C-alpha cells in the first residue's frame, strides 16, 4: 500500500481521504468528526488550544478534539491527510511493544507534522511533499524509535525528530548554542529570532497567535507567531536588542555569552538566524543599532536605565496594526533618514524615541537604507531648516518637512526603497514573514538549538 491512497470513503488502512468540502463532515465509517484545513485558513484547533491554555489554564488535550485533515494538491484534485493516521504510520515500528495509538493520540506530534508538511500559509502542499516528509522522517528516526525503552522516550524521540526535520527542510545549518561557535558563524546585521518550541505562557506568542488571521500578507510562515523576540548582531560577539527590564527598561547591547540572551539546556526555545543578501547593508544596519543601544552592566550587577526605553504600549499596538508601507510609514522613514543625516540619536518630536524588539531591528535597517536612497531622491542638501526656538521650532519644521516630502516623492519612494514596511508597527511575526516573502533581501541560514544538558 502506498502512503497516499485516495478513496471515495473512509478506510482505516488509508491516510488520504477524499471527503466532501466543508468545515466539518462525517465519515461513512461512523460518527467521527473531521476538521478540514487548507493552506489558506487557520486551524480552529489552534484557537481551541489557546483558549484552553491561556484562558482556562488547561494543558493541550492528549488527542485532538477531532480528526484533523488538511488538503493536499495532486494536479487539479484535492486529497485530505488525516494527521492522526499520518503520525501513527510515520512512527510505526515493526515487531515492537510500542503502541501505535501512542503516536496517533499525541496532539503536539500531530501539530508538528502539520507545520512540517505545510510551513507556509498560502502555499499549496503537494503529494510529493507529503511522501518526502514521510520518507525523510522514517529514514532518520525509525532506528532510534526501535531502541526506545518505553512509550514516553519514544514519543520524545519522535517530537525531537520532527523538530529537527523541520529545520533541515529549511536548508539551514543546525548547531547547538555555544557563544564562541555562534560568533564565528554570524555576520553584522544578522537578525536573530527567538522561537518558542512549544505552547508556552508567553504573552507575545499569545498576542501574535490571536492576531495571525488579521495579517495582510498573502504568504505567512505558519510558525511565525512563535517568534517571541528579535535582535540584531552588531559584530564582536555582541547583539543589540530592546527588552523590558524590572529595574529599568533597556535598549541594550549584550555579549552572546550573557545569560540574559544565551540559551541553556533548560530553555524550550531556539534561535533562527536571517542574513541580509547585501552584507554591506547588514554592516550599516548594525552601526545604526549601535547609535541607539547601550552597553549595560553584567546581569549580576545593579542595572541602569538606558537613554532609550522599551515601549510596551507600541509593542501592543503593533499586534493589530498593518505594517504595509503606507503614508504614515513613509513619513517615519523620512524622519529616520533625518536622524541618520545628522548622526544624532532618534527622537520622537522632542523626546528620545522608544523601541520594542522588532521595531529596533526594522529601524536600524531602514535608517541604513535611507542613507543610500534619500540623498539621490531628495538631493544632498535637502533638509528641514532650524526653528527660531530650536527646542520646539526645529521639531515642528522637521515634522512638516517629512510630511511634505512624503507627498512630493510618494511614487519615487515606491520605486527606490526596498525595505517597504512600517518599522514602528513591526512585530517579530511580521518581520519573519517579511523575510520569507523577500528572499532577494534576506535568507534563513542558521538554526541554533539549546545546548545538551
The answer, yes or no, to whether residue 166 has pLDDT greater than 80, is yes
pLDDT of residue 25: 34
pLDDT grade for 238, boundaries at 50, 70 and 90: very high
Q: Where are the domains of the chain?
A: 16-169, 174-449
pLDDT of residue 372: 94
Nearest to 72 by CA among 33, 15, 24, 26: 15
Neighbours of 441 (CB within 10 A): 16
Chain segment 389-398, per-residue pLDDT in tens: 554 656 788 8
DSSP code, position 424:
G
pLDDT of residue 431: 96
Nearest to 413 by CA among 311, 294, 328: 328
Name the burial class of residue 171, with classes exposed (0-12), middle (13-18) and buried (19+) by CB atoms within 10 angstroms of its CB. Answer: exposed
Strand ranges (E), 46-181: 67-74, 77-82, 120-121, 173-176
pLDDT grade for 259, boundaries at 50, 70 and 90: very high
The answer, yes or no, to whether residue 78 has pLDDT greater than 80, is no
Chain segment 2-13, per-residue pLDDT in tens: 343 433 333 333
Nearest to 106 by CA among 161, 55, 36: 161
For strands 220-221 and 191-196, give the pairing.
unpaired
For strands 173-176 and 442-449, give the pairing.
parallel
Q: Are 270 and 197 in contact (CB under 8 A)?
A: yes
Helix (H) or strand (E) holding 252, with range, is: strand 250-255
Helix (H, G, I), strand (E, B) or coil at 20: coil
Percent of the chain with pLDDT over 70: 76
Q: Are 349 and 399 in contact (CB under 8 A)?
A: yes
User: How far is the first Cα of the chain from the last one, in angstroms, to the nearest whole number?
Assistant: 42
Neighbours of 84 (CB within 10 A): 24
Highest mean pLDDT among 1-15, 200-214, 255-269: 255-269
Neighbours of 415 (CB within 10 A): 9
Q: Which of 58-62, 103-107, 224-228, 376-380 has the lowest mean pLDDT?
A: 58-62
Distance CA 103, CA 86 (A): 9
Residue in this structure with the C-alpha cell 495532486, named with its chain if needed: 74
Highest mean pLDDT among 42-51, 77-86, 243-252, 411-420: 411-420
Distance CA 130, CA 197 (A): 22
Chain segment 317-354, per-residue pLDDT in tens: 898 888 999 999 999 999 899 888 877 777 765 566 78
**Could you give the angle at the alpha carbon of 244 between the alpha carbons of 192 and 351, nearest 5°?**
105
Amino acid at each position: 500500500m502506498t502512503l497516499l491512497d485516495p478513496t471515495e470513503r473512509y478506510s482505516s488502512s488509508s491516510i488520504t481521504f477524499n471527503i466532501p468540502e466543508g468545515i466539518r463532515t462525517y465519515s461513512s465509517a461512523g460518527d467521527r468528526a473531521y476538521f478540514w484545513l487548507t493552506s489558506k485558513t487557520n486551524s480552529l484547533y489552534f484557537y481551541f488550544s489557546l483558549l484552553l491554555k491561556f484562558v482556562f489554564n488547561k494543558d493541550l488535550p492528549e488527542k485532538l478534539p477531532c480528526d484533523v485533515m488538511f488538503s493536499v494538491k495532486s494536479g487539479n484534485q484535492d486529497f485530505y491527510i488525516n494527521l492522526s493516521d499520518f503520525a501513527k504510520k510515520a512512527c510505526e515500528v515493526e515487531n515492537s511493544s510500542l503502541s501505535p495509538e501512542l503516536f496517533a493520540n499525541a496532539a503536539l506530534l500531530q501539530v508538528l507534522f502539520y507545520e512540517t508538511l505545510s510551513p507556509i500559509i498560502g502555499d499549496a502542499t503537494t503529494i510529493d511533499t507529503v511522501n518526502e516528509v514521510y520518507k525523510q522522517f522514517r529514514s532518520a528516526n525509525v532506528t532510534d524509535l526501535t531502541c526506545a525503552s518505553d512509550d514516553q522516550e519514544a514519543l520524545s524521540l519522535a517530537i525531537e525528530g520532527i523538530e529537527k526535520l523541520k529545520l533541515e527542510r529549511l536548508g539551514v545549518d543546525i548547531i547547538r548554542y555555544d557563544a564562541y561557535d555562534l560568533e564565528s558563524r554570524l555576520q553584522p546585521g544578522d537578525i536573530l529570532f527567538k522561537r518558542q518550541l512549544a505552547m508556552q505562557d508567553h504573552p507575545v506568542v499569545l498576542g501574535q497567535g490571536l492576531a495571525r488571521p488579521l495579517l495582510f500578507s498573502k504568504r505567512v510562515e505558519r510558525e511565525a507567531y512563535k517568534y517571541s523576540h528579535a535582535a540584531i548582531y552588531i559584530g564582536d560577539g555582541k547583539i543589540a536588542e530592546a527588552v523590558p527590564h524590572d529595574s529599568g527598561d533597556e535598549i541594550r547591547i549584550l555579549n552572546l555569552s550573557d545569560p540574559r540572551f544565551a540559551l541553556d539546556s533548560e530553555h524550550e526555545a531556539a534561535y533562527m538566524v536571517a542574513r541580509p543578501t547585501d552584507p554591506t547593508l547588514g554592516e550599516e544596519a548594525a552601526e545604526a543599532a549601535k547609535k541607539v543601544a547601550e552597553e549595560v552592566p553584567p546581569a549580576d550587577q545593579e542595572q541602569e536605565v538606558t537613554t532609550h526605553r522599551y515601549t510596551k504600549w507600541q509593542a501592543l499596538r503593533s499586534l493589530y496594526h498593518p505594517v504595509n508601507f503606507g503614508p504614515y510609514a513613509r513619513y517615519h522613514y523620512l524622519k529616520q533618514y533625518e536622524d541618520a543625516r545628522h548622526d544624532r540619536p532618534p527622537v520622537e518630536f522632542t523626546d528620545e524615541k522608544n523601541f520594542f524588539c522588532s521595531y529596533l531591528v526594522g529601524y536600524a535597517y531602514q535608517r541604513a537604507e535611507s542613507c543610500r536612497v534619500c540623498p539621490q531622491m531628495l538631493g544632498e542638501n535637502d533638509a528641514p531648516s532650524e526653528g527660531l526656538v530650536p527646542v520646539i521650532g526645529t521639531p515642528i519644521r522637521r515634522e512638516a518637512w517629512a510630511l511634505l516630502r512624503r507627498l512630493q516623492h510618494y511614487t519615487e519612494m515606491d520605486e527606490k526603497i526596498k525595505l517597504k514596511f512600517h518599522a514602528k508597527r513591526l512585530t517579530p511575526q511580521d518581520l519573519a514573514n517579511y523575510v520569507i516573502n523577500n528572499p532577494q533581501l534576506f535568507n534563513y541560514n542558521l538554526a541554533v538549538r539549546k545546548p545538551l544538558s
